[in-house]
Amino acid sequence: MHAMQSWHGLLDIPTRRLRSFSKNIPAGIAQRQNLRADMQLKPFQLISRVRGSLSKRPVSRAGYEGENAMKTLTIGRTYDFVQKYRPTKRHKVARERRMTTCTDINYKMLEEREFPVAMVVENHQYFVEGAKTWEEVHDGESDFRIVSDELRTFEGRLFKARRISYGEVVSSEYVSPDTLVEIARENSGYVHVEEAAVLYEEGKSLVVSDDRNERAKTFQDAADNIIIFDNKIWDATSEPMYLILTFGLGHNHGGTGFFIEWFYNENISVENYFRADQREEAIAYFKETALGRGDTESVNDYEPAPNIRVLMPEMVRANPKTDHAKGCRRRGK
């Protein structure tokens, strides 16, 4: 019971007073000879060490939440939140102080049968072959090539594997799930609070409210947009479409482009967008537009054109005519 009470105390720690709490850790958790080392730890490291001692759980782990439940990757992290309090009963105006606490973030880990391929996006982007560092991307000797991206589906949503990227340059290599642990360690979810003086006093001050649950929910909401599969991070993505764009004045000054797009642009006509299963219509419109402008070079050089290979037709749901209703239209349409 004594250890459990101490654990609850460590859940909500004033950030500026975090180190002083190491003096109150029971001997079974941190022996006196280790206190000096603990005092040098960063807040995340200290809480993670105490938390692991109390709960017997590592900072990150993979397991099942129940006999038939989905496999999850759980990562512990610390974060800051704002607590509003009244220094004493006589005070009517609440003050604020920054606090530090812990939470678990759960990421879904799926198997092949749970995460089928819905589409394959081909010839849509250039990648740097095998680059894993910034130096490899910008060494001037990188081999650029076109590769394909799988889009997998889970619970009616599409997901795309996250590639290593440096600005606009994207690698053919993928981001490892290990980076999720690194992000949790480096980012404590800092919040800014005007702390001219912290007047909180145990036993006298009254807690009015705090936003710890709201902030923890934002972390979990972000994790719900991620799937762990095949040792890769898969991010929720929108549905790909074909897009026809024109550049310059025509007659091969600029040209006409055939692209794959993931979002609508209100400055682009609804007639320029085509669903993933309308490739033939998109190509016909592309050629009509290019020849009408005199962009003969665009018509001759557009292959290999981007392609969306649809394996699950039920996942094609985009309808530019209605989804992009506010997009500009050509005069007379």
Which residue in 107, 82, 110 sits closest to 94, CA to CA? 82
Portion of the chain with pLDDT greater than 90, in percent: 56
The mean pLDDT value of the chain amounts to: 79
Question: pLDDT digits over 182-206, tens only?
Answer: 888 766 667 778 766 789 999 999 9
Q: What angle do the packed helices 43-55 and 2-11 form, to 10 degrees?
A: 150
What is the mean pLDDT of the segment spanning 256-261?
95
Residue pair 2/24 in contact (Cβ under 8 Å)? The answer is no
Does 40 score more than 70 pLDDT? no
What is the mean pLDDT of the segment spanning 3-7?
34
Phi, psi of 183 (to 5 degrees): -65, -40
Question: pLDDT digits over 108-121, tens only?
Answer: 999 999 999 999 99
Residue pair 6/30 in contact (Cβ under 8 Å)? The answer is no
Does 167 score more than 50 pLDDT? yes
Give the SS3 label for residue 54.
helix
Question: pLDDT digits over 322-332, tens only?
Answer: 898 766 655 44
Alpha-carbon distance 254 to 249, whole Å?
Answer: 7
Question: pLDDT digits over 148-165, tens only?
Answer: 899 999 999 999 999 988
Does 85 score more than 90 pLDDT? yes
Identify the band that residue 214 occupies on the pLDDT scale cut at 50, 70 and 90. Answer: very high
The pLDDT value given to residue 14: 61
